[in-house]
Amino acid sequence: MNKISSSIRCVIIICAFVITGILSTGCGSVPLTGRKQVLLVSDKEVFEAGLTQYNEYIRGAELSSDSRSTALVKSVGSKLAQSTERYLKANGFESELDNLEWEFNLVKSNEVNAFCMPGGKIVVYEGLLSVAQTEAELATVIGHEIGHAVAKHSNERMSQQIMTQYGMAILSQALSQKSAAVQTVATSVFGLGAQVGIMLPYSRKHEYEADYMGIVFMEIAGYDSASALDFWTKMAAGGSNANDFLSTHPSDSKRIAEIKRRIPEAQAIAVSMKN
Protein backbone atom coordinates (compact mmCIF):
# COMPACT_ATOMS: atom_id res chain seq x y z
CA MET A 1 0.00 0.00 0.00
CA ASN A 2 1.43 3.40 -0.91
CA LYS A 3 1.92 6.23 1.55
CA ILE A 4 -1.04 8.31 0.38
CA SER A 5 -3.67 5.57 0.53
CA SER A 6 -2.27 4.44 3.88
CA SER A 7 -2.66 7.98 5.24
CA ILE A 8 -6.22 8.27 3.92
CA ARG A 9 -7.18 4.93 5.44
CA CYS A 10 -5.62 6.04 8.71
CA VAL A 11 -7.59 9.29 8.75
CA ILE A 12 -10.89 7.53 7.96
CA ILE A 13 -10.41 4.97 10.73
CA ILE A 14 -9.39 7.59 13.25
CA CYS A 15 -12.29 9.86 12.33
CA ALA A 16 -14.71 7.01 12.98
CA PHE A 17 -13.27 6.43 16.43
CA VAL A 18 -12.76 10.07 17.40
CA ILE A 19 -16.25 11.15 16.30
CA THR A 20 -17.76 8.57 18.59
CA GLY A 21 -15.61 9.89 21.41
CA ILE A 22 -14.10 6.52 22.24
CA LEU A 23 -10.50 7.39 21.57
CA SER A 24 -8.31 10.37 22.11
CA THR A 25 -5.38 8.90 20.23
CA GLY A 26 -4.88 8.76 16.47
CA CYS A 27 -2.30 8.47 13.77
CA GLY A 28 1.36 8.25 14.53
CA SER A 29 4.47 8.59 12.46
CA VAL A 30 7.39 6.23 12.96
CA PRO A 31 10.72 7.93 13.78
CA LEU A 32 13.37 7.32 11.09
CA THR A 33 11.04 5.83 8.48
CA GLY A 34 8.19 8.36 8.66
CA ARG A 35 5.64 5.59 8.00
CA LYS A 36 2.11 6.55 9.07
CA GLN A 37 0.48 4.15 11.52
CA VAL A 38 -2.86 3.75 13.29
CA LEU A 39 -2.41 3.94 17.06
CA LEU A 40 -5.72 3.51 18.87
CA VAL A 41 -4.32 2.94 22.34
CA SER A 42 -2.53 5.57 24.44
CA ASP A 43 1.20 5.09 25.06
CA LYS A 44 0.46 4.88 28.78
CA GLU A 45 -2.06 2.06 28.34
CA VAL A 46 0.26 0.09 26.07
CA PHE A 47 3.13 0.53 28.52
CA GLU A 48 1.05 -0.53 31.52
CA ALA A 49 -0.48 -3.54 29.75
CA GLY A 50 3.00 -4.64 28.65
CA LEU A 51 4.51 -4.01 32.07
CA THR A 52 1.93 -6.20 33.80
CA GLN A 53 2.83 -9.13 31.55
CA TYR A 54 6.55 -8.37 31.68
CA ASN A 55 6.62 -8.32 35.49
CA GLU A 56 4.70 -11.59 35.59
CA TYR A 57 7.19 -13.11 33.16
CA ILE A 58 10.27 -11.88 35.06
CA ARG A 59 8.86 -13.19 38.38
CA GLY A 60 8.62 -16.68 36.87
CA ALA A 61 11.89 -16.57 34.92
CA GLU A 62 15.33 -17.50 36.16
CA LEU A 63 17.92 -14.83 35.42
CA SER A 64 21.26 -15.97 34.07
CA SER A 65 23.96 -16.80 36.60
CA ASP A 66 26.61 -15.99 33.98
CA SER A 67 27.68 -12.60 35.30
CA ARG A 68 30.00 -11.84 32.38
CA SER A 69 27.34 -12.41 29.71
CA THR A 70 24.74 -10.57 31.79
CA ALA A 71 27.07 -7.56 32.05
CA LEU A 72 27.62 -7.69 28.27
CA VAL A 73 23.87 -7.71 27.54
CA LYS A 74 23.35 -4.77 29.89
CA SER A 75 26.30 -2.77 28.52
CA VAL A 76 25.36 -3.33 24.85
CA GLY A 77 21.75 -2.47 25.74
CA SER A 78 22.83 0.70 27.49
CA LYS A 79 25.04 1.83 24.57
CA LEU A 80 22.17 1.30 22.12
CA ALA A 81 19.67 3.01 24.44
CA GLN A 82 21.95 6.04 24.53
CA SER A 83 22.35 6.14 20.75
CA THR A 84 18.57 5.76 20.32
CA GLU A 85 17.91 8.63 22.71
CA ARG A 86 20.50 10.78 20.96
CA TYR A 87 18.77 10.16 17.65
CA LEU A 88 15.30 10.92 19.04
CA LYS A 89 16.48 14.13 20.75
CA ALA A 90 18.29 15.38 17.66
CA ASN A 91 15.33 14.74 15.36
CA GLY A 92 12.37 16.27 17.12
CA PHE A 93 11.17 13.14 18.93
CA GLU A 94 12.23 14.24 22.42
CA SER A 95 8.72 13.65 23.82
CA GLU A 96 9.10 9.94 22.92
CA LEU A 97 11.71 9.61 25.67
CA ASP A 98 8.84 9.74 28.18
CA ASN A 99 7.65 6.38 26.80
CA LEU A 100 11.00 4.67 27.34
CA GLU A 101 12.06 2.96 30.55
CA TRP A 102 14.91 0.71 29.51
CA GLU A 103 15.65 -2.65 31.09
CA PHE A 104 17.93 -5.35 29.70
CA ASN A 105 17.94 -8.86 31.13
CA LEU A 106 19.62 -12.14 30.28
CA VAL A 107 17.47 -15.15 31.13
CA LYS A 108 18.66 -18.67 31.87
CA SER A 109 17.34 -20.74 28.96
CA ASN A 110 18.77 -22.63 26.01
CA GLU A 111 16.15 -21.12 23.73
CA VAL A 112 17.59 -19.07 20.87
CA ASN A 113 15.28 -16.17 21.57
CA ALA A 114 14.86 -12.53 22.57
CA PHE A 115 11.90 -10.22 22.89
CA CYS A 116 10.97 -6.65 23.66
CA MET A 117 8.06 -5.26 25.59
CA PRO A 118 6.76 -1.71 25.19
CA GLY A 119 8.95 0.96 26.71
CA GLY A 120 12.19 -0.93 26.05
CA LYS A 121 11.99 -3.93 28.38
CA ILE A 122 14.27 -6.30 26.51
CA VAL A 123 14.94 -9.93 27.38
CA VAL A 124 17.70 -12.02 25.81
CA TYR A 125 17.83 -15.80 26.36
CA GLU A 126 21.22 -17.41 26.99
CA GLY A 127 20.71 -19.66 23.96
CA LEU A 128 20.78 -16.65 21.66
CA LEU A 129 24.41 -16.04 22.61
CA SER A 130 25.35 -19.26 20.79
CA VAL A 131 24.37 -17.44 17.57
CA ALA A 132 25.15 -13.83 18.49
CA GLN A 133 28.78 -14.56 19.33
CA THR A 134 30.28 -11.08 19.04
CA GLU A 135 29.31 -7.83 20.75
CA ALA A 136 28.19 -6.35 17.41
CA GLU A 137 26.03 -9.42 16.65
CA LEU A 138 24.40 -9.09 20.07
CA ALA A 139 23.91 -5.38 19.26
CA THR A 140 22.07 -6.51 16.11
CA VAL A 141 19.45 -8.34 18.16
CA ILE A 142 19.10 -5.68 20.83
CA GLY A 143 19.05 -2.88 18.24
CA HIS A 144 16.33 -4.73 16.33
CA GLU A 145 14.24 -5.15 19.49
CA ILE A 146 14.72 -1.45 20.33
CA GLY A 147 13.47 -0.72 16.81
CA HIS A 148 10.21 -2.56 17.60
CA ALA A 149 9.85 -0.49 20.80
CA VAL A 150 10.61 2.91 19.26
CA ALA A 151 8.33 2.22 16.27
CA LYS A 152 5.53 1.29 18.70
CA HIS A 153 4.81 -1.93 16.86
CA SER A 154 3.02 -3.26 19.97
CA ASN A 155 0.56 -0.38 19.90
CA GLU A 156 0.02 -0.90 16.18
CA ARG A 157 -0.60 -4.63 16.63
CA MET A 158 -2.94 -4.00 19.55
CA SER A 159 -4.80 -1.43 17.44
CA GLN A 160 -5.12 -3.90 14.58
CA GLN A 161 -6.38 -6.57 16.99
CA ILE A 162 -8.92 -4.19 18.50
CA MET A 163 -10.23 -3.39 15.04
CA THR A 164 -10.33 -7.07 14.05
CA GLN A 165 -11.83 -8.45 17.26
CA TYR A 166 -14.14 -5.64 18.23
CA GLY A 167 -14.64 -3.63 15.04
CA MET A 168 -17.72 -1.49 15.17
CA ALA A 169 -18.87 -3.10 18.40
CA ILE A 170 -16.34 -1.14 20.44
CA LEU A 171 -17.63 2.11 18.99
CA SER A 172 -20.84 1.76 20.92
CA GLN A 173 -19.18 0.71 24.16
CA ALA A 174 -18.32 2.97 27.07
CA LEU A 175 -14.74 4.12 27.47
CA SER A 176 -14.25 1.96 30.56
CA GLN A 177 -14.98 -1.13 28.48
CA LYS A 178 -12.25 -0.16 26.04
CA SER A 179 -9.72 -0.75 28.81
CA ALA A 180 -10.96 -4.32 29.13
CA ALA A 181 -10.51 -4.71 25.37
CA VAL A 182 -6.97 -3.36 25.66
CA GLN A 183 -6.15 -5.92 28.37
CA THR A 184 -7.58 -8.80 26.35
CA VAL A 185 -5.77 -7.77 23.21
CA ALA A 186 -2.50 -7.24 25.10
CA THR A 187 -2.64 -10.84 26.26
CA SER A 188 -2.73 -12.14 22.70
CA VAL A 189 -0.30 -9.58 21.28
CA PHE A 190 2.39 -10.06 23.95
CA GLY A 191 1.62 -13.67 24.72
CA LEU A 192 3.57 -13.68 27.97
CA GLY A 193 0.54 -14.25 30.19
CA ALA A 194 0.13 -17.61 31.84
CA GLN A 195 -2.82 -18.75 29.73
CA VAL A 196 -1.62 -17.81 26.27
CA GLY A 197 2.13 -18.30 26.02
CA ILE A 198 2.32 -17.65 22.29
CA MET A 199 3.52 -14.31 21.09
CA LEU A 200 2.08 -13.18 17.79
CA PRO A 201 4.69 -13.01 15.05
CA TYR A 202 5.67 -9.64 13.70
CA SER A 203 4.67 -8.81 10.15
CA ARG A 204 7.32 -8.55 7.46
CA LYS A 205 6.72 -4.79 7.36
CA HIS A 206 7.49 -4.49 11.08
CA GLU A 207 10.50 -6.78 10.81
CA TYR A 208 12.09 -4.77 8.00
CA GLU A 209 11.38 -1.55 9.84
CA ALA A 210 12.92 -2.84 13.10
CA ASP A 211 15.94 -4.11 11.13
CA TYR A 212 16.53 -0.72 9.57
CA MET A 213 16.09 1.18 12.82
CA GLY A 214 18.32 -1.33 14.58
CA ILE A 215 21.23 -0.87 12.17
CA VAL A 216 20.92 2.93 12.44
CA PHE A 217 21.07 2.76 16.25
CA MET A 218 24.02 0.35 15.93
CA GLU A 219 25.96 2.71 13.67
CA ILE A 220 25.29 5.71 15.94
CA ALA A 221 26.57 3.62 18.87
CA GLY A 222 29.76 2.90 16.93
CA TYR A 223 29.04 -0.71 15.89
CA ASP A 224 29.63 -1.97 12.36
CA SER A 225 26.14 -2.76 11.07
CA ALA A 226 27.58 -5.29 8.61
CA SER A 227 27.53 -7.61 11.64
CA ALA A 228 23.75 -7.71 11.20
CA LEU A 229 24.34 -9.61 7.94
CA ASP A 230 26.52 -12.15 9.77
CA PHE A 231 23.93 -12.61 12.51
CA TRP A 232 20.92 -13.09 10.23
CA THR A 233 22.88 -15.38 7.90
CA LYS A 234 23.69 -17.61 10.88
CA MET A 235 20.08 -17.47 12.07
CA ALA A 236 18.83 -18.48 8.63
CA ALA A 237 21.21 -21.45 8.64
CA GLY A 238 20.39 -22.33 12.24
CA GLY A 239 17.59 -24.78 11.46
CA SER A 240 15.35 -25.88 14.29
CA ASN A 241 17.61 -24.30 16.93
CA ALA A 242 16.59 -20.88 15.69
CA ASN A 243 12.86 -21.64 15.59
CA ASP A 244 11.99 -19.84 18.82
CA PHE A 245 13.25 -16.49 17.61
CA LEU A 246 12.18 -17.02 14.01
CA SER A 247 8.62 -17.85 15.09
CA THR A 248 8.13 -14.25 16.21
CA HIS A 249 10.61 -12.75 13.76
CA PRO A 250 9.93 -14.38 10.37
CA SER A 251 13.00 -14.27 8.18
CA ASP A 252 14.25 -15.18 4.73
CA SER A 253 17.02 -14.28 2.29
CA LYS A 254 15.16 -11.15 1.17
CA ARG A 255 15.53 -9.80 4.65
CA ILE A 256 19.32 -10.08 4.58
CA ALA A 257 19.41 -8.42 1.14
CA GLU A 258 17.23 -5.59 2.44
CA ILE A 259 19.54 -4.99 5.43
CA LYS A 260 22.53 -4.95 3.09
CA ARG A 261 20.81 -2.41 0.83
CA ARG A 262 20.15 -0.07 3.75
CA ILE A 263 23.54 -0.18 5.49
CA PRO A 264 24.88 2.87 3.55
CA GLU A 265 21.82 4.91 4.71
CA ALA A 266 22.44 3.86 8.31
CA GLN A 267 26.11 4.80 8.05
CA ALA A 268 25.23 8.20 6.54
CA ILE A 269 22.82 8.97 9.41
CA ALA A 270 25.51 8.04 11.96
CA VAL A 271 28.04 10.29 10.20
CA SER A 272 25.57 13.19 10.15
CA MET A 273 24.99 12.73 13.89
CA LYS A 274 28.71 13.28 14.54
CA ASN A 275 28.66 16.72 12.89
Q: Which of residues 238-267 bind Zn ion (CB under 5 A)?
A: 249
Query: Which of the ranges 65-73, 202-210, 224-232, 253-261 carries the binding residues for Zn ion, by CB under 5 A?
Result: 202-210
On whether the CB atoms of residues 210 and 151 are closer than 8 A, the answer is yes
In the Cβ-directed half-sphere of 150, how many Cα atoms lie within 13 Å? 34
Task: Tell me how far apart the alpha carbons of residues 223 and 108 are, in angstroms, rounded to a whole number.
Answer: 26
Q: Which is nearer to Zn ion, 79 or 249 (CB)?
A: 249
CB of 108 to Zn ion, least distance (A): 22
**3-state SS, residue 211:** helix
Closest CA to 251 of 196, 202, 200, 191: 202
Helices 227-237 and 135-150, axial angle in degrees (round to 10): 90
Which residues have a Cβ under 8 Å from the Cβ of 56 and sit 6 or more positions away? 192, 193, 194
Active-site residue flag, 48: no
The one catalytic residue among 85, 126, 137, 145: 145
Q: Which of residues 94-123 bind Zn ion (CB under 5 A)?
A: none
Backbone angles phi, psi at 251, to 5 degrees: -140, 150
Q: Which of residues 17-46 bind Zn ion (CB under 5 A)?
A: none
Q: Which is nearer to Zn ion, 17 or 208 (CB)?
A: 208
Q: Does 202 interact with Zn ion (rule: CB under 5 A)?
A: yes
Q: Which is nearer to Zn ion, 121 or 249 (CB)?
A: 249
Q: Does 152 interact with Zn ion (rule: CB under 5 A)?
A: no
Query: Which of the ranges 67-75, 210-218, 252-260, 262-270 carries the binding residues for Zn ion, by CB under 5 A?
Result: 210-218
Binding track over 212-241 against Zn ion, x by CB under 5 A: ------------------------------
CB of 246 to Zn ion, least distance (A): 10
On whether the CB atoms of residues 120 and 178 are closer than 8 A, the answer is no
**3-state SS, residue 38:** strand
The helix, strand and coil proportions of the chain, stated in percent and rounded to the nearest 5, come to 65, 10, 25
CB of 153 to Zn ion, least distance (A): 8
Active site residues: 145
Residues in touch with Zn ion (CB under 5 A): 202, 207, 210, 249
